Amino acid sequence: MQPFHLAFPVTSLAKARAFYGDLLGCPEGRSSDEWVDFNFYGHQIVAHLSPNEAGHRNTSAVDGDNVPVRHFGMVLTMADWQVLADKLTQAQMKFIIEPHIRFKGQVGEQATMFFLDPCGNALEFKAFADPSRLFAK
């Protein structure tokens, strides 16, 4: 699979570096005074300094949760998801949606968690016990 590229707004490059680089462990790539690249699990994400555009504003109901409409993240293995959930809990991350299992007993059963970066952008990390269920109907 080829890596995807995602550009997103941030209020501060220093905050983005601390969050994506230090907390999430994403290696930094190229940068300028206006943007910084990160290796996000093998994909290229670029934090662009644009304070007026950063943050999420709306939610949508999904299995009883108010999910931020604008968000991005990764599908991890269940073991890696649990390691990240534990790491973020220990770091006292304020979750929008606490780590839990969604769609229990259904085809799309998945572990999920949502949180904000320090610039207000929403992220979701999820995992499937059976990865082949990612696109199952």
CATH code (residue 27): 3.10.180.10
The answer to whether residues 18 and 81 belong to one domain is no
Residue 80 has pLDDT above 90, yes or no: yes
pLDDT in tens, 5-26: 999 999 999 999 999 999 999 9
- Is position 54 within any domain? no
The answer to whether residues 75 and 129 belong to one domain is yes
- Is position 22 within any domain? yes
Question: How many domains does the structure of the chain reveal?
Answer: 2
The answer to whether residues 124 and 81 belong to one domain is yes
- Is position 73 within any domain? yes
- Is position 36 within any domain? yes
The answer to whether residues 64 and 35 belong to one domain is no
Boundaries of domain holding 43: 5-49
Exposure string for 7-35, b = 16+ CB within 10 A, e = fewer: ebbbbebeebbebbbeebebeeeeeeeeb
The answer to whether residues 68 and 42 belong to one domain is no
pLDDT for the residue numbered 137: 85
- Is position 86 within any domain? yes
- Is position 124 within any domain? yes
The answer to whether residues 103 and 37 belong to one domain is no
For Cα atoms 45, 49, 51, give the angle at the middle one, nearest 5 degrees: 120
pLDDT in tens, 54-69: 988 899 999 889 999 9
CA dist 49 and 72 (Å) reads: 18
Tell whether pTM > 0.85.
yes
Give every strand in the sheet of 71-76, ordered side by side.
Answer: 71-76, 122-127, 110-116, 95-102
The answer to whether residues 41 and 74 belong to one domain is no
